[in-house]
Each structure stands twice: as C-alpha cells, then as structure tokens.
Amino acid sequence: MSSSATQNRSSRTPLIAGNWKMNLDHLQAVATVQKLHWTLKDAGHETGSVQVAVFPPFTDIRSVQTLIDADKIPFELGAQDLSAYDSGAYTGEVSGAFLAKLGVGLVIIGHSERRAYHHEGDDVVGAKVKAALKHGLTPVICVGETAEDLERFGGSAVPVSQLEKALEGVPASADIVVAYEPVWAIGSGQAATPAQAQEVAAALRGVLARVLDDDAAARTRILYGGSVKSSNIASFMREPDVDGALVGGASLVVDEFAAIVRYQKHVGV
C-alpha cells in the first residue's frame, strides 16, 4: 500500500452508513429518518463534515426518498442489494435501473448475510458490482472473514481475496466504497479491535492500489462494520485507513446512531 493513500485520509469524507437489514416498515422508516434528521439538527451537526447514509428495506425506499426530497434532508439513500440483471424473468429481484430511478445512490453488495444465506459467491458479487456501476450506483462492496478463517488464515487473507475478485473488470475511475465486516463481529457485540480493523483496511487499500490505481486507493472510502456503537466508533475513526462505519443494530436506535454520526463531537478524535 502506498503511504500516500493513507496520508490522503483528510480528502475522504467520513461516511456513517446505517444498514437496517430486514427491520422497520415504511411508516417506521419515515418516522426514523425524520427523527434522525431533527436529532442531528438539534445537536448542531454540521452537514458535510460526515456523510450519512441509510439503507432501508426495498419496500421503504420510495417513502424515504419522498421524505428526503420534500424536507431536503441531507442523507444518502442506499439499497441493501440489487439484481445482477437489468430486467426480465427474475421473480423477486430488483434491478439497479429501478433503484437509480428512485434516487438511490449507494447499494450494498456481498454482505456476509447474503453470502451465507443466499449462497452468493464472488462471481455473483462481481456481476452485481458491474450492474451497480452500469446504473450509476455506488457499490458498497462488503468483505470479511469468518471466525474460522481468522483462525486459519489471519484477518486479511479472505477479505483481500474477496475484494480482488469483486474488482475484476472494474475501471480505476469507478466510484466505489469498501466495507470490511468481519463475520464474527456482526451482531455479536464483539467488535474487532481498532488495530485489527486498521490492519485489514490497509491491506484492502493495497488491493485498490494494485488492482485499480493509486488514485483509486487514495480516494476510496473503506468502512469498518461489526458491532459499531457510539462508545467505540471514535476509536475506529482514529485509524488512518478507516473512513467510516457500516452500522447494523445501532442504526435502528436514532439517538445511538446520531451519536455515532457525531463521533467527532462526543468523544473527540
């Protein structure tokens, strides 16, 4: 990894992203986004210092988009998955074209829950990354090792291999986000240590430099995910290669998620 990539940390706007998974119906989604907006406003959160993104279930997206547009709420809207195909006989799938039309800007691809429960391998992840880029969506490419992988190969080997495969055929100019989510840390209450997150994030930035180029490595944001809370976010954000967080459970609790977004204020980095 080139040290210039790490030194450019200040050029990467931190991204705090809430992956709601299969939680909150469209009415709850609207209430949650409204409350989050007002909580951050009341706290004097400076829009632009940290980018905020929410990833609701598909059925909520239209309602959240309407709210964000109407109230000029400065949150990015994301989806949790997309189809590798544009349209056709793929019952139950959602096309990137449809998401783009709804104002979705980001899409999670290769989350470990989809890899595990829906048997999505690196080939499917790669096809979805290309589909996202084709429709102007920014893929949030998730990689991470299981506890068994960690024991056998250390932290970096599996995430590095997953990212290399996901980036095959991706142009260096592509706008992407990478999320390092150790499977053993997701929903377990046992987050990685900041040093573990940094070690893997640095290795992933090395992949970006090698497979894409130095500029891509310097500008691409790498998030940490796995039991992120308001009490540990600042320690991750102090690491030079960690540019934000992909938050699961804690993103469903507005005050807690707002405190994570405001990590610079309430703990000081």
Residue 194 interacts with ligand 13P (CB under 6 A)?
Answer: no
Of the candidate spans 127-135, 153-161, 212-220, 243-251, the one that interacts with ligand 13P by CB under 6 A turns out to be: 243-251
Q: In angstroms, give the least distance from the CB of 34 to ligand 13P.
A: 22
* Closest to 175 in 3D by CA, of 138, 209, 145: 138
Per-residue contact string for residues 106-135; x = within reach of ligand 13P by CB under 6 A: -----x------------------------
Find the catalytic residue in 111, 113, 120, 239: 111
- Cβ closest to ligand 13P, residue 18 vs residue 96: 18
Residue 246 interacts with ligand 13P (CB under 6 A)?
Answer: yes
- Cβ closest to ligand 13P, residue 1 vs residue 57: 57
How far is Cα of residue 203 from the mean position of the Cα atoms in its chain? 17
Residues 40-79 touching ligand 13P, rule: CB under 6 A, are none
Torsion of CA 200, 204, 206, 208, to 10 degrees: -170
Q: In angstroms, give the least distance from the CB of 20 to ligand 13P.
A: 9
* Closest to 13 in 3D by CA, of 268, 261, 266: 261
Could you tell me the CA-to-CA distances from 255 to 20, 38, 118, 206, 250 in Å, in that order?
15, 11, 32, 35, 9
C-alpha angle 226-229-235 in degrees, rounded to nearest 5 = 85
What whole-number distance in Å separates Cα of residue 22 and Cα of residue 119? 18
- Cβ closest to ligand 13P, residue 52 vs residue 218: 52
Q: In angstroms, give the least distance from the CB of 118 to ligand 13P.
A: 14
- Cβ closest to ligand 13P, residue 5 vs residue 54: 54
Clarify whether 76 is annotated catalytic. no
- Cβ closest to ligand 13P, residue 185 vs residue 209: 185
Q: Which residue is nearest to ligand 13P (CB)?
A: 248
Residue 19 interacts with ligand 13P (CB under 6 A)?
Answer: yes
Residues 216-235 touching ligand 13P, rule: CB under 6 A, are 225-228
Clarify whether 45 is annotated catalytic. no
- Cβ closest to ligand 13P, residue 5 vs residue 144: 144
Length of the chain: 269
Residue selected from 1, 54, 131, 186 as contacting ligand 13P according to rule CB under 6 A: 186
Residue 141 interacts with ligand 13P (CB under 6 A)?
Answer: no
**Could you identify the residue written with the tokens 């090395």?**
206
Find the catalytic residue in 113, 120, 145, 181: 181
3-class DSSP state for residue 185? helix
Q: Where are the alpha helices (DSSP H) in the chain?
A: 3-7, 26-42, 58-70, 96-101, 112-117, 122-134, 147-153, 157-166, 194-207, 214-219, 233-237, 254-261, 263-266
Q: What are phi and psi of 3, to 5 degrees?
A: -65, -25
What whole-number distance in Å separates Cα of residue 244 and Cα of residue 11? 13
Residues at the contact surface with ligand 13P, assessed by CB under 6 A: 19, 111, 181, 186-187, 225-228, 246-250
Active centre residues (catalytic): 111, 181
